[in-house]
Structure 1
Amino acid sequence: MRSRPTPALGALGANYNEQLTWINHTDLQQLNARWIRGFIDMHQIDPGNVLEDRNIQALFKAIDAGYNTILSFKWNYSERNFPAIGTAAHSTELQCLDAVLRVVLNKVNILVIGNEPFIEVQAGHADERLNIFYETVAEAVIKFREGNANQGFTTPKLYMGAFNRLDLPIKRTPAIERMLRFIASRPELEGVDLHPHMPTLEGHKAMLDFVLSRIRPDQRFLATEFSLVWHWKKHLGDPVSGYFCSKYGFPAGTKVHQVISTAMRDPWPYTQWVDLLSHEPWYIHCRGFLVNAMAMYRATGRLEVATYGLCPMRLRKAPLPVDGNPWMLNSLYAPSTVQPRPDGSRHENFPWAEEFRMVQRG
């Protein structure tokens, strides 16, 4: 099946990260979502059996069902060195990339070269070694697409990234600047992918202003992950509201991360989860975030697609430490803190699922 033309700019879809096997078409229909994003770990792919990969199979089922798709390629170099050009290790990377491209290039609407390059790297290696590696794989993707244009392959849009925390001047390194210059220099690249996980909306704007000023005016951006997760994290050590403690029998002064851990160990009714969230000022005062962030992105006139996290950490039982990352507060469907409905389906998360639909209607 050929990839479909992408619809109007500014779409909002659902992000599954590396868990494409969790795609649930009923969930997507209830949210009115027509876009799906996920990534594959290129070091976990068997190049001789790409079609046997369960994430690829799940993605293709979604494509056959009519969904538009964004696929990101992740190269995890957090525990290994980047291979030098011309070495056997580098050739192995390109051979695997070639095998994956032969399977996915005529299917997906948008392909992203990279997942979070500046995080998925050894300490001290986010320098020209990173740039050289990603430039070579980008050139290989461009060359493959052009070389197979007359052999039944369609031409999905190509993006590169994703970038993190560029609201912070300290993160705007020479390697970041070089990658942005590379993206701007290549007419085959539609633009950049961003992961604006920020503590404030002002941070989202600062990152947008920085990045968009460094790429071509005709280029656009994706926001395949975005959230206020670092804002939530700052409050995990706060005491839970007196209202909640009194109503549900928790000792006064119980911390936010402690009650969430309790819920993961023994999930609550949905009403109790909403009671917790709706009585925490640091959470409920951010109501409207999804609507406001999308309005900001769309106002640039350069947003292609944004995707928001749909799948929480399922069946997690490990406690949430005070310095943990509370992704369960972001997701569109209630996480493992909440009992399923009698029919086994999951509750929507408060208030993000309804905001997601509001953006779709807007």
Structure 2
Amino acid sequence: MPDKSLNNNAVEYASNQDASMKFLSLGANFNEEIADIDNDLLENAGVKWVRGFVNINRLFLNYTDERGIWGVRSQAITNFQPIIPFINAKNTATENGRKVKLIFSLKLQFKNRNMGVPEPGSKGMDLMMKAIEEFLLAKNLGREIAVLVLGNEPMWETPLEDVADYEYFLNALIDSVGAWKKKNEWDFKTYIGALNRVSEVRQNAIGNKVLEIAKNNNKIDGLDIHMHVDDILEIEDDLKFIREDMGITKSLICTEFSIVRLFNQHSNDLLGEAFTTKFGYPENTRIFQWLNSAMVAAQSGTPISAAEFEYGFKTRDWYPDQWFFDFIKAFKKYDVDIATYRLQSHVRNPLRLLDKNSAMWSVNAPYNGELLGYFENGFPNKNPLVIPEYETVLKVH
């Protein structure tokens, strides 16, 4: 089980929790990496939820430019093995004996192969509905999940010129899901989303349409959001926009959040003389180059220390200490029911080394084998930037 000792900041956080504030459940997000779910690690981490997604368009539809969507890859659905460890995650017991609950998102990537949103009443729309229904029936996924999210960042994955078709499609999918739930006696909640950076892209037609449907369609239980910020002061912006400006009172969940955009701004910064002297790196080493060295060391079984990793960020004037707690505080203020965060990062073979323009997703994971290697028991080493806050929130909530 995780070390339940709390650092000073964590003790202060725990003691300041107001019993009248909204309860928040925390869980582990795996995105498409659901084949990598390790039940032992889930139990060790103590999470209450597990979230993953699949790309329906890319994996399960036949498409050509000439014919459009012309078929469902039913055999691919039947043989889709990554869904098995995802469903098995439900068998993981939390500390209080309750089972982990599952959130599943359908990634509907209409920009995939320039597919576009199928027109109302078209064969392509019928085939998309058929593929989604078959997938929910396969391994009886619809029975196992507690939450189904229809869509994953549609504002980035849907052509803006298809907004009218997308509105029709999403409402039709909502109706179909309702019918499937009744027919198969499924009891999961239905959310739509997930919307990212809504306060920054207020004029995005697809995003606004999702907000409108979330607010007005009584068959929708709530909205899923993603929050990847570059300024710690912006954490509340999306939540305030949704709750106050848009007037959405339904349940909110947040299945992805991080300060990755802030990390990205500084990936090409010099480590500085104090760091390079202390840890023995060349004078002009930059942050992304140092992280590449950490990946190589982790792969070779001689990882850098947690102390070095922590020093590399927490000594920088731009790094917002305790940012994880800031997210949680905002979630509670604006009544977010569930938040899932990327749990782990594996050593990759072959290594995916960074350059100065790479997104620094590898920094985020609280269990971080990719950058910090592994314990003797096989669990990834803990990320000191995240793990104290992560484990504290799990304990308190």
Q: Flag whether TM exceeds 0.5 (same fold).
A: yes
Q: 1:50 is matched with which residue?
A: 77
Aligned: 1:107 with 2:141:
no
Mapped to 2, the partners of 1:147 and 1:276 lie a distance apart of 49
Shift of 1:222: 1.0
Q: Structure 2 residue aligned with 1:223, among 254, 257, 260?
A: 254
Checking the alignment, whether the CA contact within 8 Å between 2:27 and 2:49 is kept in structure 1 is yes
- Contact residue 270 and residue 339 of structure 1 kept, 8 A: yes
The answer (yes or no) to whether the contact 2:154–2:207 under 8 Å persists in 1 is no
Question: In the alignment, what sits opposite 1:33?
Answer: 47
Could you say what secondary structure the match of 1:54 adopts?
A: coil
Query: Unpaired runs of 5+ in structure 2?
Result: 1-21, 61-72, 93-98
2:231 maps to which residue? 200
| Alignment equivalent of 2:342, drawn from 278, 288, 309 | 309
Residue 13 of structure 1 aligns to a residue whose secondary structure is strand
Pairing partner for 2:365 from 321, 331, 342: 331
What is the CA-CA distance between 1:61 and the residue it aligns to?
Answer: 0.8
Change (3 A) 1:31 1:219: same
Q: What are the superposed Cα offsets for residues 40-84 of structure 1, whole Å, 9 maximum, x if unpaired?
A: 111314434635322221121112342101000001222312222
The code of the aligned residue for 1:153 comes to: E
Percent of pairs with identical residues? 19
Q: Say whether 1:87 aligns with 2:122.
A: yes
Contact 1:244/1:276 (<8 A) preserved: no
Deviation of the 1:270 alpha carbon: 4.8
Q: Letter of the aligned partner of 1:212 in structure 2?
A: R
1:165 alignment partner AA: R
Is 1:349 the counterpart of 2:363? The answer is no
Distance 1:26 1:134 in 2: 41
Answer whether contact 2:153 2:194 (CA < 8 A) is retained. Answer: yes
Matched, 1:157 2:189: yes
- With normalisation by structure 1, the TM-score equals 0.88
Structure 2 equivalent of residue 213 of structure 1? 244
Q: 2:109 aligns with which of 76, 81, 104?
A: 76
- Match for residue 68 of structure 2? none
- 1:237–1:85: structure 2 CA closer, same or farther, 3 Å change rule? same
For 2:348 and 2:386, the matched residues in 1 are separated by 20
Find the aligned partners of 1:284 and 1:54 in 2 and give their Cα distance.
43
**Residues 270 and 284 in structure 2, CA contact (< 8 A), matched pair in contact too:** yes
Give the counterpart letter for 2:386 in structure 1.
Answer: W
> In the alignment, does 2:13 pair up with 1:13?
no
Q: Displacement, 1:214?
A: 5.5
User: Which AA in structure 1 matches 2:51?
Assistant: R
17-26 or 343-352, which deviates more: 343-352
Instruction: Give the Cα–Cα distance (whole angstroms) in 2 for the partners of residues 155 and 283 of structure 1.
Output: 48
SS in 2 for 1:232: helix
Q: Distance in 2 between matches of 1:357 and 1:314?
A: 22
Q: Note the C-alpha offset of 1:323.
A: 1.0
Q: Aligned partner of 1:55: which letter? A: P
- The answer (yes or no) to whether the contact 1:31–1:353 under 8 Å persists in 2 is no
Question: How far does residue 95 in structure 1 lie from its aligned partner after superposition?
Answer: 0.8
- TM-score, length-normalised on structure 2? 0.81
SS of the counterpart of 1:349?
coil
Check whether the contact 1:167–1:203 (CA below 8 A) recurs between aligned residues: no
Q: Is the 8 A contact 1:41 1:75 kept in 2?
A: yes
Could you tell me how far apart the structure 1 residues matched to 2:385 and 2:127 are? 45
Relative distance call for 1:15 and 1:40 in structure 2 (3 A) is same
Backbone CA RMSD of aligned residues: 2.3
Give how far 1:284 is off: 8.4
Q: 2 CA distance for matches of 1:214 and 1:248? A: 49
Higher mean alpha-carbon deviation, 213-222 vs 198-207, is at: 213-222
The Cα shift of 1:231 comes to 0.5
The number of residues matched between the two structures is 348
Q: 1:157 corresponds to which letter in structure 2?
A: K
Q: Secondary structure at the match of 1:30?
A: helix
**8 Å CA contact retained: 1:116, 1:164:** yes
Residue-by-residue CA offset, 1:180-237 (whole Å, 9 max, x unaligned)? 1111111111221111000123222111111223555540211100000000111111
Equivalent-residue separation in structure 1 for 2:39 and 2:366 (angstroms): 14
1:130 deviation in Å? 4.0
- Structure with the bigger percentage of helix: 2
